[in-house]
Structure 1
Amino acid sequence: MGSYIVKRILLAIPLLIIISFITFVLINLSPLDPAVVVLQAQEVPQITEELIAQTNKALGFDQPFMIQYVNWILAVVQLDFGNSYVSGEPVWSLMGPAFMNTLKLTLVSSVFIIALSILLGVICAMREGKLLDRSVRGVLFFLTAMPSYWLAAMMIWYFSVKLDLLPTSGMDSYRSYILPVIVITVSYTGIYFRTVRSSMLSNMNEDYVLYARASGLSEKKVTLHILRNSLQVAVSIFCMAIPIVLGSTVVIENVFAWPGLGRLSVKSILSRDFPIIQAYVLMLAVTFVLFNTISDIINAAMNPRLRKEF
């Protein structure tokens, strides 16, 4: 198992290097000169070619492309993403608190998503084809198809404006979590619910279930066996729930004015703050690769055959 973990980690390293290189290339392909962005943010009255050249030299953009990339990636390893072109502050001092705010929202939402997916998936699988199963699937399909920004707007209008029960924005107290968590949970539960339900139905037709019932095991114990085997299939999808929710909070954070990564990234895109955009993309990539690796390791721990095949 130890060798498998080492192999998976070593496999993730070149993938992250490739992603970081692509990110760096795409940002540098922008037709907008970073020096112009910096000078405009500093409100320089007259931007001349000489001033642009001096700024590019100060930022290191006069060096060969590969030298720029190597210097950038060596700094990133030390969590030094440079300074914001707009505010001049270190990027990490802006992204660190924003990342923690997004992570809090993501973790709370993911707990509810996974719990509801398992609960509803098991209940509907045990009542396949019945009214409850059809009703839950229909409601979840409708809610999943609904645009999250529209649902968020409706929730704000009803619970915050009409009833005046919950805050419309910010994260001043635990009450600020309620609406964004509900919107995220509603938007994603249907996706993971289908995985649990289909996995349960698949396992219910296996020979070991018939044998367990023939051996006189109670229905509760049989269900627990089915659930355990079903979750082995769903665990990889659940592991990816956190990075997927993390990456999709952009809309929710902007609707609810949540001071997280998503809101910061939109502001950075609008102001052409390239260092923050680079850091945001790279941070999401690292999160996806990390949780994908964790998912593979968990699957390998539960299924020894995967370790042998790797």
Structure 2
Amino acid sequence: MTTMMWLLVAVFAAVLVGGGLLARRREVRIREAHSAALECRDQELSQVREESTQRAESSNHQLTLVEQTAKAREQALSGYLAKALDYDLRSRHSILNACHSEQLDGVLLSNVVFLRKNRAVGGDLYRRQIDHVVVTSEKVLLLENKGWKGLVFDGVPPGTIHPDLGAVVGPLPSKDTFAVHIGGQDRSIRIAEEAPIDQAAKQARDLKNIAAESGVDAGFVEICVLYSHPQVRLHALSRQVSRGWHGRVIDLPQLDQVLRAGSGERRVDVEQLTGLLEPLAGDIAGFGSYESTWPSRLAPRVQVS
């Protein structure tokens, strides 16, 4: 073999070796680049998972705060309403329990407050507050609650029960409607400046008016004075008339009978009237078929002895 041929073989071998080295280097670089890309992708995925976890934890934390805030507000609202209804809370529970006991379908609205214009005094505004309104398809029952403890004479002169009581109380107002309270915390004797049945009649008039002005037919509105204290001894003219309104004066044992009595003819649109009065009420509680439609904002219904 000539020198030239050996030289060509050597050059060819060198080219092969160099090409192999370049190929291996290229393969190593490709593998390194691929590994770097995989590592970068893993880092990005890890970062995305971490950020997602952080966002989820932040969302859960915010959701927990929202739930805690909502619960705190609900408790505060319940406490506020209970405090606002403090005087009428016992009667509210008693009325609601009686409605359930009589298996009625309707709504109880408590502490209904609204403003009216007094046309007789230059259109000045006055505030009207109604203790309780029971709305059923049969009738609307407006209840003026009195939590008086002791002896109560409503429409019945104390002297007719015992002459000494008449002497102690003294002269009564010169009208058919009046109320005398003997007892209470200070065991005093007081004659109400305005008979409760007169208060209820005014409330019923304004209730009918605001309903009519909104195009809502309140139907038959019955007024009732409820003496709700368990230690009241009531002497009352059970049926009374005030300002053209016929009403009843009762204590708790007579409540079921009043709720049970129907109005007879006209029907009441419970949902329409309740929708009108709901924004004006401190609390609203459905009973019977309306219990789930209008759940109370206060604590669950309790039994009152």
Q: Which TM bucket (shorter chain)?
A: under 0.3
The structure number with the bigger radius of gyration is 2
**Greater strand proportion:** 2
Q: Which structure is higher in RCO with an 8 Å CA cutoff and minimum separation 6? A: 1
Length-normalised TM-score, structure 2: 0.22
